Amino acid sequence: MVKIWDNRSRNPVQSFPDASDSITCVEEHSQVISTSCIDGKVRHYDLRKGVLNIDSFQSPIVSFVYSTNFPLRIRMSILSGTSDCYIIGLLDDTIRLVELGDTLKTYKGHVYNNYRIKSTMDPLEKFVISGCCSGDILYYSLDGSSARTLYRGAHKGAVTCIAFSNPQLLTSAGKLKRDLEKNVRESLKSDSIAVSTGRDGALNVYTLSYRE
């Protein structure tokens, strides 16, 4: 069940009890709340229209993230008026790029081994990034090429989560919108900072550079 709270109230102002199993991710975009679930469904709650749209898949979904800057098709989304896509990771060892319930690309090469491993995209949305139960961090280009190793042996055991620095910290002129530590500030001017966690209890920090 998903519940929405108003900060001024101790009780939820709205609840969505539709899921039949554990919810793995909750995302909000353009007044649409999207949830992924172990029951193999992505549910989109349009708060403006009061409409629920459901995308169904044949395997439990363990990760979900929106791709807002990658219009693969020239058509309008019924959800938010844009051609938004999203990335999901499933326990059948696939990652899928999905638009309006249709799978546009499928990425294979990583192994989850029933771990909940988060898949994501880099800040520029050029690559799909995923952990693996082997401890490696892999990446795929969006055109659906085979998996490549970004960091080999990043963790001793499964890589459970990967996250990137927020590109919105920088203005269009490359200046920071708020103060940060000096070393972080300098890194963000030219690169992205990535963080990974694993079953080994470690949290690793990397600098990701885009080079031709």
**Does residue 97 fall inside a structural domain?**
yes
Per residue of the chain (212 residues), give pLDDT as tens: 888 888 887 888 888 999 999 999 999 888 889 999 999 999 999 988 999 999 999 999 999 998 765 544 433 333 344 446 899 999 999 999 998 788 989 999 999 888 889 898 887 778 899 999 999 999 998 877 789 999 999 999 999 999 887 655 555 454 555 554 555 555 555 567 889 999 999 999 888 776 65
For residues 131 and 73, membership in a common domain is answered with no
**Does residue 198 fall inside a structural domain?**
yes
For residues 152 and 207, membership in a common domain is answered with yes
167 is in which domain, residue-wise? Answer: 118-212
For residues 53 and 98, membership in a common domain is answered with yes
For residues 100 and 136, membership in a common domain is answered with no
Q: How far is CA 107 from the centre of its chain?
A: 14
For residues 5 and 81, membership in a common domain is answered with yes
Q: How far is CA 85 from the centre of its chain?
A: 11
For residues 65 and 1, membership in a common domain is answered with yes
**Does residue 49 fall inside a structural domain?**
yes
| Count: domains in the chain | 2
For residues 103 and 131, membership in a common domain is answered with no
Per-residue confidence (pLDDT) for residue 67, from 0 to 100: 79
CA separation (Å) from 145 to 25, 83, 176, 195? Answer: 26, 23, 34, 24
Q: How far is Cα 177 from Cα 162, in angstroms, rounded to an integer?
A: 24
| 188 three-state secondary structure | helix
For residues 154 and 83, membership in a common domain is answered with no
Query: What angle (nearest 5°) sits at the alpha carbon of residue 139, between those of residues 138 and 144?
Result: 130
**Does residue 205 fall inside a structural domain?**
yes
Residue 25: CATH number of its domain: 2.40.10.480
Q: How far is Cα 55 from Cα 87, in angstroms, rounded to an integer?
A: 13
For residues 15 and 78, membership in a common domain is answered with yes
**Does residue 113 fall inside a structural domain?**
no
For residues 21 and 98, membership in a common domain is answered with yes
Prediction pTM value: 0.79
Q: How far is Cα 42 from Cα 49, in angstroms, rounded to an integer?
A: 18
Per-residue confidence (pLDDT) for residue 23, from 0 to 100: 94
Listed residues 56, 74, 108: the one ending a domain: 108
Q: How far is Cα 130 from Cα 117, in angstroms, rounded to an integer?
A: 8
For residues 131 and 194, membership in a common domain is answered with yes
Q: How far is Cα 192 from Cα 206, in angstroms, rounded to an integer?
A: 8
Q: Which one, of 86, 21, 10, 15, lies nearest residue 45 by Cα?
A: 15
Which residue is it, tokens 């972080």? 184
Question: H or E element: which one contains 137?
Answer: strand 137-141
